[in-house]
Structure 1
């Protein structure tokens, strides 16, 4: 049986989904925004760069190489479309912007695997809009894809495993890492060890990064509260509080972030049902253990439906592809499907351990000053959001957006949505799950103005 499967996203989940579909006689379309497949964690350097995998991916070099070989081996067996941004979906058609030509074409689908991955979870501090401040993911892209650092003397702050991984990668590359400032407390991390030991190999790698940083003189501080980024025209330093007193440290680059958040806009436009996940501290599209969403023919795989890491993304991509095939009468290995689900399930204990080790800073909103820019696209401050609640009765995220313009800019709420929800919850006295989420809007990401005008005219007719 010949199907018409389309996969959005060529990270670990998307590649394994494509490989599985091809192995069962299908020729899926694989659409990816990046120039080369691999996703963020296994982002490939440009073809003319010559750095060895061990330099780029460290202990993950073997897995990265295997994944790259998998996608390279699919040449001719799949319809691979890099440099292609899916910016809208409706009526069984994906609107796709092709990079070099900046033209948009429609791609039909009958079955769709959404493997859109994740992006940084941001909680801003005063000074975060200064040149020289990057998210952790942005700092990692600069190093992996462009072979450059965000500064000569860099501070990394926030929390989560990515904080230590990026600091390690920078220090390993020869950059002066001035400090790692973690909002998580050491006692919480120690209490989470039993849960994290359920994945001993992953846990050992994390311990190694921390030990390596300490052994090479990088200052590691736990239980801190970042106060501000210092500087006038660009970064000159950072200030933080350790619970006793304020500290400052000179630097010319800052990487910050609070773990990752799922990219859910496409799932939203597809009409998938969402629910709040306490573990992920976010509203996420619902899926069954095989990856089926609430919308027939739409399957969810990888970090775009919940952050579980690259290993889980590979398993989820393969499992979603097997579910797609089975749902359309293609014979699959049911024992393999069960095995993948069990592997995925085992990771949940470890994931809960990570959440305990690197908890979301629930007190962030209480410390956010009124003049803090929350939405940099529209220059909306925390004070403006609080005033909108107080004077206009905004008590839900989309109402807040309509009245304050938060989340209406180029990022469509990717950078400011989490922080805005925290401010709204604090200002209204509601738990975060009850303030709702910003609904996805097309275009998912910025597109040329002539395409937006054409889309508007088409909608009007």
Structure 2
């Protein structure tokens, strides 16, 4: 019998598992979290009492549907929560059981990679202060731990997640001091034709904006974050509003510039990558069905390119159908066509979002030399510029070897975007030309005293 494994139990992984079950397969579903749902629909502990409407806001219905989907197939899949995939080889994954700190090999014949996304971080001076969180980390605190990151919170950066998190915090009763968006109103107006291809999604975004305004949250567009203030912890933020610097008092900051795909596993599996100008990143290649360049490996959801939760569900189902087709099983061609059409149309909306919330391409030019870029290795922007100047480095892995950027615990997951921007600016080359940090095991931190567990047959 074919050993089928899915990595990731967010919207893409759950819909993939559901589709495989409906066609008689019993997949292994590896989930780093304690409960299925992913980041966007992260489930709180079982004894958590706040209703879904309070946790997910307008996304409560979708969240409950995804949770119901995984609950409905629980007895027909091999679900393994607390399972961190930290390495991959041909036909086998190395998986850490976080409860026991043991690692075991999980073999597979066909693999669906649905690893999701994480925050795209562009640091500012003071971002290492206690009380500074990524937007995703702010969400985790609220959804899983039932707390806010502070009493008076400023959210800054750009992207739809910025307003969603601010709305969720304010809805939960937190004091949101302000939302600082680097995008301008003109950016968002220019994106309107493409955003109107998904009017319901656009309406939700406008609802968040309207709700925040009517509840007294200050919204500032076209700003440039300057620094986070404080000594022992956050006491405020400084931003430039286009005319002068302004200061806001707060005790916590959530920040980020949209999301970046978690591609390290696809890299270790040998998938071919290509640069995406829309997402300003190198991404693993896949066809319309989700097949990667490696036979038997399928890519779904934000881990292969940021498209959003709805698209992740469709992509997870489509990848599962591709897997079934490759196994010689009959699938509904009408459903295949519908999913591919939906995914094709979402690309137009996605380009609209990138226009509405453009990446701040002048960030590298504005970053001061003393700015810490890599927290793991305490590497500054000035050190990276000096490395480029002194050695002529113009490629990310060369810069890594010479400066240690990306050699810390996060393996470049947090600092890689900023380092690439600094390298491209210092070397005077396009961002696509500097390449990407090659994936290295372990993908995420694992215990030093890791011991081997029993082999697990999938």
TM over 0.5: yes
In the other structure, the counterpart of 2:169 is: 170
| Structure 1 residue aligned with 2:23 | 24
Distance in 1 of aligned mates of 2:23 and 2:2: 11
SS at match of 1:449: coil
- TM-score under structure 2 normalisation? 0.98
Count of residues paired in the alignment: 453
Q: Do residues 298 (structure 1) and 297 (structure 2) align?
A: yes
* Structure 2 unpaired stretches of 5+: 453-458
How far apart are 1:76 and its partner, in Å? 1.6
Matches of 1:250 and 1:365, distance apart in 2: 26
C-alpha distance in 2 between matches for 1:293 and 1:191: 34
Aligned ranges 1:177-196 → 2 under 5 Å? 177-196=176-195
Equivalent in the alignment of 1:80: 79
- Alignment partners' CA distance in 1, 2:74 and 2:356: 42
- Provide the residue aligned with 1:48 in structure 2: 47
The 2-side partners of 1:149 and 1:449 are apart by 31
1:236-295 deviation line (CA, Å, top 9, x unaligned): 000010111000010000000000000000000000000000111100000000000000
- Measure, in 1, the Cα distance between the counterparts of 2:66 and 2:307: 18
CA shift at 1:39, angstroms?
0.3
Q: TM-score, normalised by structure 1?
A: 0.97
Q: Quick one: distance in 2 between partners of 1:291 and 1:334? A: 16
Deviations 1:425-457 (A, max 9, x none): 0000000000000000000011111339x8xxx
| 1:283-318 superposed Cα distances (whole Å, 9 cap, x missing partner) | 000000000000000000000000000000000000
- Counterpart contact for 2:396–2:420, Cα < 8 Å: yes
Q: Which position in structure 1 is the counterpart of 2:317?
A: 318
Alpha-carbon offset, residue 68 of structure 1: 0.5
Show the 5 A alignment for 1:232-311: 232-311=231-310
Is the 8 Å Cα contact of residues 392 and 427 (structure 2) preserved in structure 1?
no
In the other structure, the counterpart of 1:213 is: 212
Counterparts of 2:353 and 2:392, CA distance in 1: 37
2:398 alignment partner in structure 1: 399
Q: Deviations over 1:144-197 (max 9, x none)?
A: 000100000000000000000000011111111110000001111011112101
Deviates more, 1:387-396 or 1:12-21: 387-396
Are 2:101 and 2:450, in contact at CA under 8 Å, matched by a contact in 1?
A: no
For structure 1, the residue ranges without an aligned partner over 5 or more in a row are 455-461
Structure 1 stretches of 4+ with a deviation exceeding 4 A read none
Q: Which residue of 1 aligns with 2:456?
A: none
Whether 1:341 and 2:344 are equivalent positions in the alignment is: no
State the partner residue of 2:93.
94
Distance (Å, rounded) in 2 between the aligned partners of 1:120 and 1:344: 23
Q: For 1:146 and 1:14, how far apart are their aligned partners in 2?
A: 23
**1:144 equivalenced with 2:143 (yes/no):** yes
Secondary structure of 2:74 counterpart? coil
Q: Give the distance between the partners of 1:35 and 1:244, measured in 2 at CA.
A: 47
- Partner of 2:118, secondary structure, is strand
**Which of structures 1 and 2 has the larger relative contact order (alpha carbons within 8 angstroms, sep 6+)?**
2
Alpha-carbon distance in 2 for matches of 1:62, 1:153: 29
Once the two structures are TM-superposed, the CA of residue 91 in structure 1 deviates from its matched residue by 2.7
* DSSP-derived class of the 2:144 partner: helix
TM alignment of 1:350-389, pairs within 5 A: 350-389=349-388
**67-76 vs 266-275, greater mean Cα deviation:** 67-76
Partners of 1:394 and 1:431 lie apart in 2 by 14
Contact conserved, 2:290 with 2:322, CA < 8 A, in 1?
A: yes
Q: Which has the larger displacement, 248-257 or 388-397?
A: 388-397
Give the distance between the partners of 2:388 and 2:194, measured in 1 at CA. 40
**TM superposition shift of 1:391:** 0.9
Determine the structure 2 residue equivalent to 1:426. 425
Q: Deviations over 1:309-340 (max 9, x none)?
A: 00000000000000001011111111111110
Q: Distance in 2 between matches of 1:155 and 1:380?
A: 26
Q: Tell me the SS of whatever aligns to 1:450.
A: coil
1:3 shift after superposition: 2.0
Q: 2:90 touches 2:269 (CA, 8 Å); kept in 1?
A: no
SS in 1 for 2:407: coil
Backbone CA RMSD of aligned residues: 1.0
Partner residue in 1 for 2:455: none
Task: List per-residue Cα deviations over 1:69-120 (Å, max 9, x = no partner).
Answer: 1101112211000000000011311000001111000000000000000000
Check the 8 A contact 2:292/2:298 in 1, yes or no. Answer: yes
Give 1:10's aligned residue: 9
Paired residue secondary structure (1:425): helix
